[in-house]
Amino acid sequence: MFWVLLKKQLLQLNQFYFYNPKTGKRRNPASIIGMVFLFLLVFFSFGMAVFGLSTTLLVGIAKAKVYWLFFAMMGLVSIFVGVLGGGYTAYPTIYNAKDNDLLISFPISTSSLILVRTVSVYIMTVLYSAFIWLPALLAFWVVCGVPSVLSVIYSLLLLPILCIADVALSCLLGFIIAAISSRVKNKSLTTIVFSFLFIGVYYIFYFRTDYYIELLTKNLKDVIAFFDTKFIVFKFLGEGAMGNTLSLLYFLGIVVALFLVIWYLLQRSFIGIVTHTSKFKKARFSNKDIRTRSVGRALLSKEFRRFWKCPAYVLNAGFGIVIELGFTVFLIVKSGIIREYLYSIENLNPELDLAVYLPGAIALTLCFLASTNAVSAPSVSLEGKSIWILQSYPVEAHKPLFAKEQMHIILNGIPAVLGAITMDIICYVPWYNMILTLLFVLSFISLMGSLGVMSNLRHPNLNWTNENVPIKQSVSVLICMFGGWVLIGILAVVFLISAFFLPPYIFLSIISLFFIGLCVLINKWIRTKGATIFATL
Amino acid sequence: MLKISHLTKTFGEKKAVDNLTLHIRPGEIYGFIGHNGAGKTTTLKSVVGILEFDEGEILINNLSIKEYPIEVKRMIAYIPDNPDLYDFMTGIQYLNFVADIFKIPAKERAERINKYADLFELRSDLAEAISSYSHGMKQKLAVISALIHEPKLIIMDEPFVGLDPKAAHTLKEIMREICDNGGAIFFSTHVLEVAEKLCDMVAIIKNGKLITSGTMENVKGDASLESVFLELEE
């Protein structure tokens, strides 16, 4: 039975990655190569940051010659990141899959069902953990040399072993969310709150990485003692990576035992959670609930309802909004320090005129933050099997598409505008440059909104059983996010070069016009060709 | 009301619908029956404008679905066989959404929603999320959403599946009432007894081709519709 389910799961994954969901035919080699290239690009970019972090960490550790500590620490980070990635996948994959009812009605053991579901989670954790572990390994070999062949083999083997711990902890997190969600009415809100808390903790650690590395280096003996006593499992990991077979086996044993315990917990509780019916007070319908809206507002309202009711959508496409708002609050709180910092830069470099650089830098920073929110990019796919509603109703096909774009602009525009105004005030940017900064940012956001809709029309996937598929595993999301980052990167270079001879308002104006022009062209395509595609998807 | 002329739709190498011609007049309840995969859903989706067809013409009140899709869709309503509705909405939010699309004024909207909510006994569930509805409740909601804009032509794909007997009876009465007032119904079903009692006209499709059509009396004669169907399907 397990192998039958596993085959179905792998077929599903294979279908998603290598087959066009619309035609059912295998994707052409060029698009597969494109996907692989994008993945490698992300891996390389992220890997460079981890490599840098690892080399910083290795400085103190290499001096003290406690090499196992490096692997213990990176293993811990790897697990943390793996759980962050796998946690998002575990809850919907295990508890919210649309074929749960069907499979539960079959003579399939819960243990097999859960084990197979963890395969998808495992694959996700391997990807996330690999982003940490592999660059860390490389950094170690570069800085400290290769201890032995056995060390190389074991340290590579440790990646799939670490991911067993990742998947166990991700599934535990999924279980906790599911157990609480099944007992509250607003499940979406519960999931969102939990996720934000988890991510908040992650980012607190992330932004204080330098501080923790410094703390570690100064208190190495205490840290070693801590791992020796409280976190010995990670010491086994560290020693295993250095070529110690017994330590590797101990670590493997502990991780497998952890997985088995959590697997047991999940299988015992699974049916109870997915079939749990809570006794909530029923909402009462009254005539006050009957409201009229224009067609445009009805379509926009529908998009927002879907957004707020879907935790995966909020967390993946909207998390950057929280970052932007947090960034704005940070700017307000630290405005004094920021101003002092800017004064000190000007004092150190009297020839440097920050007024030349600030507007563009502010605009590009906000655009970069906004480009992480791919709100419109999965929006067509999210229509899923209910697309027949808009196709069969008397509404021009471009209107729902523009509603998706509008939602993108509103969700991204508000925090961006607040951020831009705050930064411009703190940095004493003249009013005309402030207006142009706003224009720049809003035109970029509009462009990304329309690009998201267009790319999703070109790469739709309506056949999903889990909302994570169109939101997280989507070509259009990748195109928009990376396309946005590449565009910002290019513009940053152009800006730095042009700052020598062009006043900032010219750069901002020209690029804003460019964005607006591109947006108009894309929207024209959406209104014509895009609408035709949508009407017959 | 509805003229389907030489409709042909091919999926890859398979002709799902092959040169189908049907005419549904005002006042008729037209049943459309056939084996699984015969081409019923393809035909219905083509009529509604969800599926592009390769050849032929579909006219609703002399307007082509291809050339005047918006105008045609204002006159019709569609209920698919397995209505995937917006799970993220409540029942009333969905009905408001549909009513907004069809620009139904507040007063008429309230009257119709209350009327159909009571008829289909869905009033107590309208404020609940659609995600909590059973299949039958979703079907009822889909039916209500199809009726609130008082369409001239209703296209339904196996509308009785999932409906309890009372709701099915209510739907049949509403169908009759619509046709008595000059509207028309074109629906597919596997429940031949219902088709036999309810339909004025019937068409039988097999492997994409129309094999017979006409009044119920002419098609079935003295035999039951089931025996006629089984004989034609051989």
What is the secondary structure of A205-268 as a DSSP string? HHHTHHHHHHHHHHTHHHHHHHHHHT-HHHHHHHHHHTT-HHHHHHHHHHHHHHHHHHHHHHHH
For A334-338, B28-32, B36-40, which range has the lowest pLDDT when averaged over its residues? A334-338
Question: Residue B124 in contact with residue A282, Cβ under 8 Å?
Answer: yes
**Residue whose pair of structure tokens reads 């920073």 in the numeric block:** A365
Q: Which two tokens stand for residue A40?
A: 């490698």
Whether chain B has a CB inside 8 Å of the CB on A277: the answer is no
C-alpha radius of gyration, chain A, whole number:
25
| B94 vs A464, higher pLDDT | B94
For A291-300, B60-69, B220-229, which range has the lowest pLDDT when averaged over its residues? B220-229
Q: How far apart are CA A444 and CA A451, in angstroms?
A: 10
Nearest CA in chain B to A98: B131
Nearest CA in chain A to B145: A389
Please count the structural domains in chain B.
1
Task: Please report how many Cα atoms fall inside a 13 Å half-sphere around the Cα of residue A131, on the Cβ side.
Answer: 22
User: Which of A239, A274, A309 lies at the terminal end of a domain, its last residue?
Assistant: A274
Q: How far apart are CA A394 and CA B101, in angstroms?
A: 7
Q: Is A291 in contact with B96 (Cβ distance < 8 A)?
A: yes
A142 & A265 share domain: yes
Residue B76: pLDDT over 70: yes
Whether chain B has a CB inside 8 Å of the CB on A535: the answer is yes
Backbone angles phi, psi at A514, to 5 degrees: -60, -45
List, for residues A491-533, the tens digit of each pLDDT value: 999 988 888 788 888 888 999 999 999 999 999 999 999 999 9
- ipTM value > 0.85: yes
- CB atoms under 10 Å from CB of A496, counted, come to 13
Question: Residue A437 in contact with residue A404, Cβ under 8 Å?
Answer: no
Separation of CA A361 from chain center: 24
Give the full edge-to-edge strand order of the sheet including B63-64. B14-24, B2-11, B55-60, B63-64
A20 & A146 share domain: yes
Q: How far apart are CA B122 and CA B126, in angstroms?
A: 6
| B48 vs A44, higher pLDDT | B48
Contacts of B100 in chain A (CB under 8 A): 292-295, 297-298
A408 & A524 share domain: yes
Which of A102, A279, A280, A292 is the best residue to mutate to test the B interface, defined by the most B CB atoms within 10 Å of its own CB?
A: A292
A84 & A216 share domain: yes
Q: Is A535 in contact with B70 (Cβ distance < 8 A)?
A: no
State the CATH number of the domain containing residue B62: 3.40.50.300
- Which runs of consecutive H residues, i.e. helices, occur in chain B? 40-48, 69-75, 91-101, 106-119, 135-147, 165-180, 192-198, 216-220, 225-233
Q: Which two tokens stand for residue B88?
A: 């993220």
Domain range for residue A526?
Answer: 295-535
- CB atoms under 10 Å from CB of A169, counted, come to 21
Sign of CA dihedral A335, A336, A339, A340: negative
Please name the member of A282, A287, A386 whose beta carbon is closest to the beta carbon of B86: A386
Whether chain B has a CB inside 8 Å of the CB on A285: the answer is yes
Question: Residue A402 in contact with residue A534, Cβ under 8 Å?
Answer: no
A219 & A368 share domain: no
A244 & A324 share domain: no
- With respect to residue A529, please indicate whether it lies within any of the assigned structural domains: yes
A131 & A202 share domain: yes
Q: Is B86 in contact with A293 (Cβ distance < 8 A)?
A: no
A to B CB pairs, distance under 8 Å: 103
A335 & A457 share domain: yes
Q: How far apart are CA A210 and CA A189, in angstroms?
A: 33
> Residue A321: what residue type?
I
| A23 vs B120, higher pLDDT | B120
pLDDT of residue A23: 59
Q: Is B89 in contact with A305 (Cβ distance < 8 A)?
A: yes
Q: Which two tokens stand for residue A355?
A: 């007024």
Please count the structural domains in chain A.
2
Task: Please report how many Cα atoms fall inside a 13 Å half-sphere around the Cα of residue A490, on the Cβ side.
Answer: 6
Average pLDDT over residues B149-162: 93
A204 & A335 share domain: no
Question: Residue A209 in contact with residue A53, Cβ under 8 Å?
Answer: yes
Separation of CA A273 from chain center: 27
Q: How far apart are CA B71 and CA A395, in angstroms?
A: 10
Nearest CA in chain A to B98: A393
- With respect to residue A281, please indicate whether it lies within any of the assigned structural domains: no
Nearest CA in chain B to A302: B97
Domain range for residue B85?
Answer: 2-233
- With respect to residue A366, please indicate whether it lies within any of the assigned structural domains: yes
Average pLDDT over residues B202-216: 92
| Residues of chain A under the 70 pLDDT cut | 13, 15-17, 20-25, 187, 205-210, 213, 277-280, 352-353, 355
Which of B97, B124, B125 is the best residue to mutate to test the A interface, defined by the most A CB atoms within 10 Å of its own CB?
A: B97
pLDDT of residue A16: 64
A192 & A235 share domain: yes
- With respect to residue A284, please indicate whether it lies within any of the assigned structural domains: no
- Residue B154 β-bridge partners: B77, B185
Residue B165: pLDDT over 80: yes
pLDDT of residue A402: 97
Say what the alpha-carbon torsion angle A494, A499, A502, A506 is, to the nearest 10 degrees. 70
> Residue A120: what residue type?
S
A479 & A335 share domain: yes
A331 & A196 share domain: no
By percentage, how much of chain B surpasses pLDDT 70?
A: 100
pLDDT of residue A14: 72
User: Which of A210, A239, A274 lies at the terminal end of a domain, its last residue?
Assistant: A274
Question: Residue B32 in contact with residue B203, Cβ under 8 Å?
Answer: yes
- With respect to residue A129, please indicate whether it lies within any of the assigned structural domains: yes
**Residue whose pair of structure tokens reads 């830098």 in the numeric block:** A361
Question: Residue B201 in contact with residue B29, Cβ under 8 Å?
Answer: yes
Nearest-neighbour CA in chain B from A383: distance (Å): 9
Q: How far apart are CA A378 and CA A470, in angstroms?
A: 6
SS (H, E, C) A454-521: HHHHHCCCCCCCCCHHHHHCCHHHHHHHHHHHHHHHHHHHHHHHHCCCCCHHHHHHHHHHHHHHHHHH
Q: How far apart are CA A368 and CA A294, in angstroms?
A: 34
Contacts of A384 in chain B (CB under 8 A): 84
Whether chain B has a CB inside 8 Å of the CB on A310: the answer is yes
Host H or E run for residue A194: helix A187-207
User: Which of A215, A244, A274 lies at the terminal end of a domain, its last residue?
Assistant: A274
- With respect to residue A83, please indicate whether it lies within any of the assigned structural domains: yes
Which residue, A531, A475, A534, is CA-closest to A20?
A475
